Amino acid sequence: MCGIIGIVSKKQVVDRLIDGLECLEYRGYDSAGIATVNNSEIVYSKSAGKLDSLKNKLKQKPINGYIGIGHTRWATHGEPIEFNAHPHVTKSVAVVHNGIIENFAEFKDALLKKGINFESQTDTEVIAKLVEEKISKEKCRPLEAVRLTIKKLRGSFALCFIFRGHENFMVATRRGSPLALGFGDGENFVSSDALSLSIFSKKVCYLEEDDFAKITSDEVIIYDSDGNSVSRDMHTLYTDPVNLSKGKYKHFMEKEIFEQPEVISQVLGTYLNASKEMLSLPPLPQSTEIKRIILIGCGTAFYSCLVAKYWFESLSSIPTQAELASEFRYRSPVVSKDDLLIFVSQSGETADTIGALRFAKEYTKNILAIVNVEQSSIARESNWVFSTKAGPEIGVASTKAFTCQLLVLKILNIKLASDLYKITAKQRSNLLKGLLELPRLFSEILSQNENIKKLCKKFISSNSVLYLGRDILYPIALEGALKLKEISYLHAEGYASGELKHGPIALIDKSMPLVALNPWSKVFEKTLSNLEEVKARRGRIILLTDKKGRELSKDLTKSIFQLPSCSDFLTPILYSLPLQLIAYYTALDKGTDVDQPRNLAKSVTVE
């Protein structure tokens, strides 16, 4: 994780470094820092805590420069204190780092033995010290010093360096972690992501593994790992910077929840053609050649994989499994060339998912990315890309990206089922019509947000909350629990309703709130029986259901939120929405930092 930024310009850069860090804060917010070269000397400022704390420091003690680097940290090695904040600075060099240096300890030991002292507990400081040695003792030029140092490192990194005595020259390199370059007029930029560059420049390119870039205000030269000068594809950014503001909302998460009707309409508009009965999709693998589907993701993205497993098996009749990316490649899974592997990721930069993708590529070419960031590493390394088109998601807790992942997976499901003649044209048309109902259904639920707010009062005094769902709503119960714990810090667990009696029911007493997802469906009565078991033990049930479910549950609980009735296949998408609102309003009640919850970061670029 961590966000890094670099600017070389003919104008002062400090304010813009801070603007860039603001856009990158979603990658970590344990500390922040910047360094510039001014009058040939490296000057820097860093501070523990959020970016605001660095801003205050800079107000009291400003620094200047036409070249600079900046960092916002998600702590890996060493506590989130000022000493461990980046940039790490020696006499000749300052560096910012995103990633982990796995073999830093051996270098640190060797340097300590040579009498070189360390200020921090970080892996990154080792890089600064190694480059310093090359420059001051071995008399290497800066680029060579970096190149020789990087060769020795194991792990993942995106790095940006500035050097004493060089006010118009920086070096950037990457392995494993992403790095984008932005091209301006008389200035050039480096950043962990293109989104943050969109405020400075619309022209970007992405460094490939082990590339080095030598960057001045007028020129960028990229070298590959063998030292050959190379060119990388240029891309134009279309992101409207206005999208990056909260608008009338208090939090990005709130905005992202409430914009879902519009976002879903746009996704539908992109992938369903004018007659609304046909799909207009990006190129995708041949359906008839797919023998099995393996869906892979982490966290919320994994839960969309789980939902899709139900969909793919029931509608397309293709054997499907859902896998946690962090487990997948380490358990020697069997992957064959006829398998379709689908990697689901909002950011497209999740290290666990990238690791699983690279492993899978050794066995099959059928690699499909479902990502929100179209130019991300996962998209670039896949053979096919199906964009979720949710727009930038800034709140750390995923909301609209999740519902758009589900939507895109459902569209893919309908396409496969149709191509494989598992459904008729009429059935396909009905399914598509069902999807077109979603924006209206979402708006209907959002208009009742006050009722959800009231229900959330039931959580405020509890220590733990259980979420229950059966069949296709089981993954949504898992997602609801994840959302609640990550932003309200309340312990929550999701269970398959039928599993409760196999252990977790021991937790039920009158202090335990339980959120049950039980609209009318083929499993309604089974779940109702499970909920009666909870009631018999005095658990406090908060029921999310539809009209018919409400009528049949009136003796069960008074805490009911009624959702509009819809086809079974839409319920995972629809029932996600009140769970997002429950998490959001509970966090508001608890007074937590909704958009930047503690210990988390939006893009998890370390394993």
Q: Is residue 402 within 8 Å of residue 300, measured between CB atoms?
A: yes
**Region 476-505 residues binding ligand F6R, contact defined as CB under 6 A:** 482, 486
376 is a contact residue toward ligand F6R (CB under 6 A): no
The answer for residues whose C-beta is within 8 angstroms of residue 252's C-beta and 6 or more apart is: 246, 393, 394, 395, 595
Burial 179-192 (b: 16+ CB within 10 A, else e): bbbbbbeebbbbbb
Nearest residue to ligand F6R, scored by beta-carbon proximity: 299
In the complex, the smallest distance separating the C-beta of residue 396 from ligand F6R, rounded to whole angstroms, is 7
Of these, 1, 32, 604, 606, which contacts ligand F6R (CB under 6 A)? 604
347 is a contact residue toward ligand F6R (CB under 6 A): yes
Q: Is residue 107 within 8 Å of residue 150, measured between CB atoms?
A: no
In the complex, the smallest distance separating the C-beta of residue 358 from ligand F6R, rounded to whole angstroms, is 15
298 is a contact residue toward ligand F6R (CB under 6 A): yes
Only segment of 196-204, 241-249, 347-355, 546-554 that touches ligand F6R (CB under 6 A): 347-355
Q: How many CB atoms lie within 10 A of CB 599?
A: 10
Of these, 20, 70, 142, 299, which contacts ligand F6R (CB under 6 A)? 299
* Nearest to 539, CA basis, from 501, 576, 575, 571: 501
Tell me the CA distances in angstroms from 215 to 157, 176, 179, 221, one per residue in order: 18, 21, 13, 7
Q: Is residue 346 within 8 Å of residue 371, measured between CB atoms?
A: yes
In the complex, the smallest distance separating the C-beta of residue 596 from ligand F6R, rounded to whole angstroms, is 13
Is 456 annotated as catalytic?
no
398 is a contact residue toward ligand F6R (CB under 6 A): yes
Only segment of 146-154, 297-305, 428-436, 492-500 that touches ligand F6R (CB under 6 A): 297-305
Instruction: Please say which residue, 201 or 377, places its beta carbon nearer to ligand F6R.
Output: 377
In the complex, the smallest distance separating the C-beta of residue 399 from ligand F6R, rounded to whole angstroms, is 8
**Region 445-474 residues binding ligand F6R, contact defined as CB under 6 A:** none
In the complex, the smallest distance separating the C-beta of residue 347 from ligand F6R, rounded to whole angstroms, is 3
For 365, which DSSP code?
A: S
Tell me the CA distances in angstroms from 65 to 6, 86, 166, 415, 518, one per residue in order: 12, 17, 11, 55, 60
Draw the binding track, 252-291, toward ligand F6R (x: CB under 6 A; -: no contact). Answer: ----------------------------------------
In the complex, the smallest distance separating the C-beta of residue 72 from ligand F6R, rounded to whole angstroms, is 17
> Strand 3-9 to strand 155-163: parallel, antiparallel, or no bridges (unpaired)?
unpaired
Of these, 188, 201, 217, 345, which contacts ligand F6R (CB under 6 A)? 345
Q: How many chain residues touch ligand F6R (CB under 6 A)?
A: 15
Of these, 353, 387, 518, 530, which contacts ligand F6R (CB under 6 A)? 353
CB-side neighbour CA atoms (13 Å) of 457? 6
Q: CA 518, CA 498: separation in Å to the nearest integer? A: 13
Instruction: Please say which residue, 324 or 566, places its beta carbon nearer to ligand F6R.
Output: 324
Q: Which two tokens stand for residue 459?
A: 């959580």
Query: Reduced to 3 DSSP states, what percent helix, strand and coil does the chain have, rounded to the nearest 5?
Result: 40, 25, 35
Q: CA 344, CA 379: separation in Å to the nearest integer? A: 10
Is 305 annotated as catalytic?
no
397 is a contact residue toward ligand F6R (CB under 6 A): yes
* Residues annotated catalytic, as ranges: 2, 602
**Residues binding ligand F6R (CB under 6 A):** 298-301, 345-347, 350, 353, 397-398, 482, 486, 603-604
